[in-house]
Amino acid sequence: MAKVEQYCQEVRQAATMLCKQGIEPTRSNVTQYLKKPAYFRDPSVTAALDSIRQELGLD
C-alpha cells in the first residue's frame, strides 16, 4: 500500500507542476514525468489523477 501512496504522490507532484506551467495534466502528459509509466496500471493511481484534476478545476 505504501508504494501505491508513493506513486499517487508522484502523480500529484507532476500534475501540479504541469498545471503551474500552463500544461493540462492529462494522463499522457503526467506519464512523461513519472519514474515508471506503469504506475497507471493501478486503478488507485488513475483515481488519484482524476481527483487532482478535480481539485485543480479541470474536470
| pLDDT tens series, the chain, 59 aa | 699 999 999 999 999 999 999 999 999 999 999 999 899 999 999 999 999 999 999 87
Taking the C-alpha atoms of 2, 43, 11 and 36 in order, what is their torsion angle to the nearest 10 degrees? 80
Cβ-contact 49, 11 below 8 angstroms: yes
Q: Are 29 and 18 in contact (CB under 8 A)?
A: yes
pTM (predicted TM-score): 0.90
- Residue 41 has a pLDDT of 95
Q: Nearest to residue 25, comparing CAs of 10, 44, 4, 43?
A: 10
The residue extents of the domains of the chain are 2-55
Distance between CA atoms of residues 5 and 19, nearest Å: 21
CA angle 8, 24, 29 (to 5 degrees): 60
